[in-house]
Amino acid sequence: MILFGYIKGMPYERATESFDDYKQLRNDLPKEKVIAHMESLEQWLTSLPSKDIFTGEKLHAGQCHDGEFRFPLEFLHYYKNYDIGIPYEYESYLKTILT
């Protein structure tokens, strides 16, 4: 299992990653295609309270599973609304199933 997107400020014990690190990632896949795929995944929701770490907007907490990859549902919110990328390992995996 490969975890990513657990950014500091999220309500998870493993949320230790830096948002700034995700701002440095530049991907080849079109963002719209990645978002459409991520939105198609089954969402495993939790009752943890969660909010946008910048605006305070209330978010749904949970996790998405995609093959070996796991990421918090909130990561999709940040990916859609902020200029960040996805890890290169996840992008490589997506290239094998989206192209």
Asked whether the beta carbons of 6 and 17 are under 8 A apart, the reply is yes
Q: Which of 2-6, 33-37, 46-50, 77-81 has the lowest mean pLDDT?
A: 46-50
**Single-letter residue type at 14:** R
Can you say whether residue 56 is alpha, beta or left, with left for phi > 0 and alpha for psi between -120 and 50 degrees?
Answer: left
- pTM summary value: 0.93
pLDDT tops 80 at residue 12: yes
Tell me, what's the pLDDT at 47? 85
Tens-place pLDDT, residues 28-70: 999 999 999 999 999 998 888 999 999 999 999 999 999 999 9
One-character DSSP codes across 52-73: -TTT--EE--EEEEETTEEEEH
pLDDT tops 90 at residue 89: yes
